[in-house]
């Protein structure tokens, strides 16, 4: 990545290339954009690509992977990633400082939010967390290095794809690193396409990996292009053994249509998450904490994470009811708007919020829905709380728009989720210990794949089963040596008569 100083219209600018490429690969043409951040001017450069260049880059990183794979033990790979992460945990690290300057301007998210959440997210990839993650799915992780005995007899070894094509989402800074780290751990060459909404962090992290081990960083390429560029995406998918897609259902379907028959697809499309609050979490000494933690889940990255709640079910019988909780939540969202102002919206996004407000305000005027109430930020679309008297489940236009439902018993929630079962993901809970597992069982049967504490909804633990699936195992191919082959080999031992 070029970090030189360059003049644009007479203004000195720091040049930042929005791609990571191995040494020796030249880009003939660039698109340029000037960005101002904290008193500095940055010239952001994106390569202009064609299908032949994409295929050439893939060939180069695949060749580098095959050259180095014999020295890439799991232990050394974990150490490589950990060293890179340790640099990012240092506030004085130049690339972290660059990210903290540019990401608020690129994404629109508040600088303090990005600073706090980026450091918290990076901790997921420290050495101890990576080992926990590996051991969660592989017993032992060294199966990636060689054959290991199986309890049932024989031996097995795991092989990662030769080349993975990653389609990164741009809704939340850092989420791209999860997919990239998974690809590194399974010893694949990794070719990533960034989103226009966040093209920076995967490139900067790849730069750090190159600082730690330049030779192994030749296995990585991270490039931006406009989504839906069929020629480039067909070329990128054509050589890949596995394709990992994050994004909208439309994005997933468009990439799937380009895949050759041999390619394995891991898809992470549109998802809906919710929260449930038991009466015991609304005691006089607890409800303030509960509301504050819920508000943070809603405000963090403006609900753009698939793990952010779009609806909240509030159980009757607490010291505050659903209507009172909605008013408290509105006040807390207003406080967070002053601390972490929501990102600016494009006209279509803002219109969708105004539309849903108007829809429910009109319904609130109807005599049969007198319990319906809309609370909204004054003079803006910064936050919206829609309080329902009857339980149900509707999606949200996001950007700090939340539905609140009153329900007699939380155990009555799962049947209401049935219409959205294919899209369910996380559920934040605030319930007593005796209720957690029984309620989680009901929610799991209804389609929910992750149960978290309210306040931690957007912070998945290392090793979580993303959308109910494995992360590493779904990428791997296993080779078995059966016990019979081991036994038969003894007959051919030249030292045994």
CATH of the domain at 373: 3.40.309.10
Let me know whether 259 and 189 are in one domain. yes
Let me know whether 334 and 444 are in one domain. yes
Which of these three, 270, 291, 322, is where a domain ends? 270
- Residue 89 in any domain: the answer is yes
Q: How many residues does the chain have?
A: 497
Residue 132: its H or E element = helix 127-137
Using the 8-state DSSP alphabet, how is residue 160 labeled?
-
Cα 140 to Cα 158: distance, rounded to the nearest angstrom: 10
Instruction: Look at the block and give the residue holding tokens 């009466």.
Output: 279
Residues 188 and 160 sit within 8 Å (Cβ to Cβ): yes
- Residue 470 in any domain: the answer is no
- Residue 426 in any domain: the answer is yes
Residue 130: which of 471, 401, 422 has the closest Cα? 471
Residue 368: predicted pLDDT = 66
139-192 confidence digits (pLDDT tens): 899 999 999 999 889 999 999 999 999 999 999 999 899 999 999 999 999 999
Q: What percent of the chain has pLDDT over 90?
A: 88
CATH of the domain at 195: 3.40.605.10
Residue 272 above 80 pLDDT? yes
466-479 confidence digits (pLDDT tens): 999 998 999 999 99
Let me know whether 72 and 87 are in one domain. yes
Show the beta-strand stretches assigned E in 389-473: 401-407, 424-430, 450-453
Residue 13: pLDDT band with limits 50, 70, 90: confident
Residues 414 and 445 sit within 8 Å (Cβ to Cβ): yes
Which of these three, 218, 240, 270, is where a domain ends? 270
Let me know whether 450 and 318 are in one domain. yes
Dihedral class, residue 192 (left if φ above 0, else alpha if ψ from -120 to 50, else beta) = beta
Residue 5 above 60 pLDDT? no
Residue 496: pLDDT band with limits 50, 70, 90: low
Tokens of 81: 């990633």
Residue 367: pLDDT band with limits 50, 70, 90: low
Let me know whether 304 and 261 are in one domain. no
Residue 463: predicted pLDDT = 76
Residue 2 above 60 pLDDT? no
Residue 388 above 50 pLDDT? yes
Residue 240's φ and ψ, nearest 5 degrees, are -80, 140
Let me know whether 245 and 318 are in one domain. no
Residue 53 above 50 pLDDT? yes
Residues 184 and 166 sit within 8 Å (Cβ to Cβ): no
Q: What is the arithmetic mean of pLDDT over 374-393?
A: 94
Let me know whether 320 and 333 are in one domain. yes
Q: What is the mean pLDDT of the chain?
A: 94
Residue 497: pLDDT band with limits 50, 70, 90: low
Let me know whether 81 and 112 are in one domain. yes
Measured from the Cβ of residue 442, the count of other Cβ atoms closer than 10 Å reads 17
- Residue 95 in any domain: the answer is yes
267: helix, coil or strand?
Answer: strand
- The CA radius of gyration of the chain, in Å to the nearest whole number, is 25
330-364 as b/e: b if 16+ CB within 10 A? bebbeebbeebebbebeeeeeebbeebbeebeeeb
Residue 6: pLDDT band with limits 50, 70, 90: low
Residue 480 above 60 pLDDT? yes
Residue 1 above 60 pLDDT? no
Let me know whether 253 and 344 are in one domain. no
Residues 49 and 232 sit within 8 Å (Cβ to Cβ): yes
Residue 98: which of 203, 224, 212, 223 has the closest Cα? 203
Q: What is the arithmetic mean of pLDDT over 279-291?
A: 98
Q: What is the arithmetic mean of pLDDT over 199-204?
A: 97
DSSP H helical ranges for 5-126 = 51-68, 74-88, 94-107, 111-122
- Residue 464 in any domain: the answer is no
When comparing pLDDT for 392 and 125, which is higher?
A: 125
Let me know whether 303 and 389 are in one domain. yes
- Residue 465 in any domain: the answer is no
Let me know whether 72 and 97 are in one domain. yes
Q: What total number of domains does the chain contain? A: 2
Residue 46: pLDDT band with limits 50, 70, 90: very high
Q: List the Cα angle 43/46/48 in 5-degree steps.
A: 140
Residue 392: predicted pLDDT = 86
236-265 confidence digits (pLDDT tens): 999 999 999 999 999 999 999 999 999 999
Which of these three, 224, 242, 270, is where a domain ends? 270
Residue 376: predicted pLDDT = 98
- Residue 437 in any domain: the answer is yes
Q: What percent of the chain has pLDDT over 70?
A: 96
Let me know whether 343 and 365 are in one domain. yes
98-138 confidence digits (pLDDT tens): 999 999 999 999 999 999 999 999 999 999 999 998 998 99
| Domain span at 17 | 5-145+160-270
Residue 232: which of 270, 194, 186 has the closest Cα? 194
Residue 293: its H or E element = helix 287-299
Identify the sign of the CA torsion 218, 224, 225, 228.
Answer: positive
């Amino acid at each position: 990545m070029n970090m030189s100083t360059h003049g644009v219209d007479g203004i000195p600018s720091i040049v930042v290339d929005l791609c990571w490429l191995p040494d020796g690969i030249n880009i003939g043409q660039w698109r340029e954009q000037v960005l101002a951040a904290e008193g500095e001017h940055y010239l952001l450069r994106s390569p202009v690509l064609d299908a032949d260049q994409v295929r050439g880059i893939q060939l180069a990183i695949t060749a580098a992977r095959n050259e180095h794979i014999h020295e890439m033990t799991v232990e050394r790979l974990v150490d490589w990633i950990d060293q890179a992460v340790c640099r990012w945990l240092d506030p004085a690290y130049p690339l972290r400082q660059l990210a903290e300057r540019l990401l608020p301007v690129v994404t629109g998210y508040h600088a303090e939010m990005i600073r706090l959440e980026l450091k918290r997210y990076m901790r997921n990839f420290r050495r101890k967390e990576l080992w926990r993650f590996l051991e969660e799915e592989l017993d032992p992780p060294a199966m990636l290095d060689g054959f290991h005995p199986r309890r049932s007899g024989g031996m097995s070894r795991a092989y990662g794809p030769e080349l993975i094509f990653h389609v990164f989402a741009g809704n939340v800074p850092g989420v791209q690193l999860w997919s990239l780290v998974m690809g590194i751990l399974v010893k694949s060459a990794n070719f990533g396409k960034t989103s226009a909404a966040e093209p920076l962090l995967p490139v900067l992290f790849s730069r750090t990996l190159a600082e730690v081990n330049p030779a192994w960083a030749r296995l990585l390429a991270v490039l931006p292009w406009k989504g839906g560029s069929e020629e480039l995406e067909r070329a990128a998918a054509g050589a890949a053994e596995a394709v990992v897609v994050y994004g909208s259902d439309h994005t997933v379907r468009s990439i799937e249509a380009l895949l050759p028959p041999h390619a394995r697809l891991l898809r992470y499309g549109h998802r809906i998450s919710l929260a449930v609050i038991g009466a015991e979490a609304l005691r006089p000494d607890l409800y303030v904490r509960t509301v504050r933690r819920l508000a943070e889940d809603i405000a963090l990255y403006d609900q753009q994470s698939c793990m952010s709640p779009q609806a909240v079910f509030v159980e009757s019988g607490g010291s505050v009811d659903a209507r009172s909780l909605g008013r408290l939540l509105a006040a807390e969202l207003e406080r967070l708007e002053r601390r972490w102002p929501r990102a600016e919206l494009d006209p279509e996004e803002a219109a969708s919020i105004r539309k849903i407000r108007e829809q429910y305000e009109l319904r609130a005027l109807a005599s049969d829905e007198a319990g319906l109430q809309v609370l909204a930020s004054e003079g803006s679309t910064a936050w919206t709380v829609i309080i329902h008297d009857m339980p149900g489940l509707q999606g949200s236009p996001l950007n700090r728009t939340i539905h609140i439902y009153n329900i007699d018993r939380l155990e009555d929630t799962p049947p209401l989720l049935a219409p959205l079962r294919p899209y369910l993901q996380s559920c934040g809970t605030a319930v007593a210990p005796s209720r957690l597992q029984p309620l989680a069982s009901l929610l799991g049967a209804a389609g929910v794949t992750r149960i978290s504490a309210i306040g931690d909804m957007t912070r998945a633990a290392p090793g979580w089963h993303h959308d109910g699936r494995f992360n590493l195992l779904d990428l791997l191919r296993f080779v078995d040596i059966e016990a019979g082959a081991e036994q038969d080999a003894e007959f051919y031992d030249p030292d045994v008569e």
